[in-house]
Amino acid sequence: MTTTTHIVAFSGSLRESSYNTAAVKAASELLPENTTLELLDISVLPLYNQELDGEQTPKAVLDLAQKVANADAILFATPEYNYSVPGVLKNAIDWLSRQQPQPFAGKPAALMSASMGILGGARAQYHLRQIMIYLDVHIINKPEVMIASVHDKFDENGKLTDQSTRDFIGKLMSALVSWRVQLKS
């Protein structure tokens, strides 16, 4: 019996022409067989406010938590802002981290980043790894996908044109599905 792997993806950028969102869209084209990918919308989340935890938790947060809980794996794509993850991504993680049961716990995940700089968002990825360790997310170590000089790798329509980057993203998605199978057994 063939099982389908459902991956939910977070883009750490709200910009309409975001390179990280474009990288997630490229990943959706490079999935292994029997795999689906859903890009989650974090733009609808209010700023985290502990006073809203519990019975007052916004519906958008509860819906997002349910999607993560139901997913088989997670893909994070993040730009690097000031050597770290963007506030909107951290806000989404903070909201979800407070939900019970904890939707991130035990999930396999993969990271990628895209940046116009030469490090490709490496520092943001390392901070994101630190955050997710506390939440018991099992992030794969390799391949590391850090898309440097991203503006040279996508066309004006947001299509990934760089073949080596496409290959790396394809390997990342295959590794994530394999990692999910390994963790499940």
DSSP 48-81: P-GGGSGGG--HHHHHHHHHHHH-SEEEEEE--B
Instruction: Give pLDDT tens digits for 88-107.
Output: 999 999 999 999 999 999 99
Mean of pLDDT over the chain? 96
Instruction: Give pLDDT tens digits for 116-137.
Output: 989 899 999 999 999 999 999 9
**Lowest mean pLDDT: which of 51-55, 125-129, 174-178?**
51-55
Phi-psi region of 143 (alpha: psi -120 to 50; beta: other; left: phi over 0): beta
Q: Dmax over Cα atoms in the chain, in whole Å?
A: 48
pLDDT band at 3 (very low <50, low <70, confident <90, very high): confident
Distance from C-alpha of 79 to C-alpha of 115, rounded to nearest angstrom: 6
Counted residue by residue, the chain has a size of 185
The residue-averaged pLDDT of 38-65 equals 96
pLDDT band at 1 (very low <50, low <70, confident <90, very high): low
pLDDT at 171 exceeding the cut of 80? yes
pLDDT of residue 167: 97
Domain 5-184: top CATH class: alpha beta
pLDDT band at 62 (very low <50, low <70, confident <90, very high): very high
pLDDT at 83 exceeding the cut of 80? yes
Question: What is the percentage of the chain residues whose pLDDT exceeds 90?
Answer: 95
pLDDT of residue 13: 96
The residue-averaged pLDDT of 44-62 equals 95
For the chain, give every domain's residue range. Answer: 5-184
